[in-house]
Amino acid sequence: MKFTRKRTFLVAVAMCIGAAIALADRAESTPQDVFDAMRGSFQPAKARSVHARYQWDLSGPHGGEWWIEVNDGTYKMGKGQIDHPNVTFRASDKDWVAICHDQLSGTWAYLTGRLKVSGDQNVARKLGEMFP
């Protein structure tokens, strides 16, 4: 069980790395900034034959709901809820941004309950490959 949890934490951090680098020069960023930066990091070749839905539920003043749907090398991204997500991430807006900027360990956030990940762990791991 620990091994699966560790890989889940790494996925949360890995999928934010590209976004964190793109936002490194900004003093304050929001979850929307992170999702906007993820758009530029999508790797269609890594998403071939992938059909997955991801949901983020972030609390706080800049929080909200975001989703990504991946279908065979393409993706759609938006705000709000998506039906039947394969994976759901829950955190505060500040914690999610801190994880994406590598200012908060995804493992630590998960172990302390600041990051909650539910759903298919294999699908969660795939997100970091598609959005490096």
The per-residue pLDDT for 110 is: 86
Cα separation, 85 vs 117, whole angstroms: 12
The per-residue pLDDT for 14 is: 54
Under DSSP, the state recorded for 70 is E
For the chain (132 residues), the mean pLDDT of every run of 10, in chain order, is 56 52 60 94 96 98 98 97 98 94 89 95 90 87
Asked if residue 40 lies in contact with residue 22, where contact means CB atoms within 8 angstroms, the answer is yes
119 alpha carbon, distance to own chain's centre: 13
The per-residue pLDDT for 16 is: 59
The per-residue pLDDT for 2 is: 56
The per-residue pLDDT for 128 is: 84
The per-residue pLDDT for 17 is: 47
Structure tokens at 14: 């890995």
Structure tokens at 26: 């900004």
Cα separation, 105 vs 15, whole angstroms: 13
The per-residue pLDDT for 47 is: 97
The per-residue pLDDT for 108 is: 93
